[in-house]
Amino acid sequence: MGELACYDHAKRFVIQNQIAGDNIFAHTLASIMSGLSATALSCPADVVKTRMMSQAAGKEDKITYINSYDCLVKTVRTEGLKALWKGFFPTWARLGPWQFVFWVSYEKFRQIAELSSF
């Protein structure tokens, strides 16, 4: 849902500020902005999830984090706030092309079906 809202807002911004018309250039810019925002917002949750899943789970092994909130707090205290965005560029490299293909295809299908923009 967040990607849709961001894409829509970015597309309106690009068109209303006459950066581009309602064409593939505007759709590309809006999809890049949507991908960046989706990555920036999801990266902290991905870091916490990855750390929770990679900690030892055996009886003899010491568990580092009690829950996700504990993981978040310990990560920020020990490594700083920037640690929550570790892996930002690989995540964007995965999400960016997806956003581009999805939104540009969506707009092309919308134009073929002669549907109005949302």
**Residue 11, Cβ density class (10 Å: 0-12 exposed, 13-18 middle, ≥19 buried):** buried
Measure the CA–CA gap between 110 and 51, rounded to whole angstroms: 41
Question: How much is the pLDDT for 1?
Answer: 62
Question: Tens of pLDDT along 45-100?
Answer: 999 999 999 887 666 677 888 999 999 999 999 999 999 999 999 988 988 889 99
C-beta of residue 72 within 8 angstroms of C-beta of residue 12: no
Question: How much is the pLDDT for 111?
Answer: 87
Answer with the residue of higher pLDDT: 85 or 21.
Answer: 85
Question: Tens of pLDDT along 31-59?
Answer: 999 999 989 999 999 999 999 998 876 66
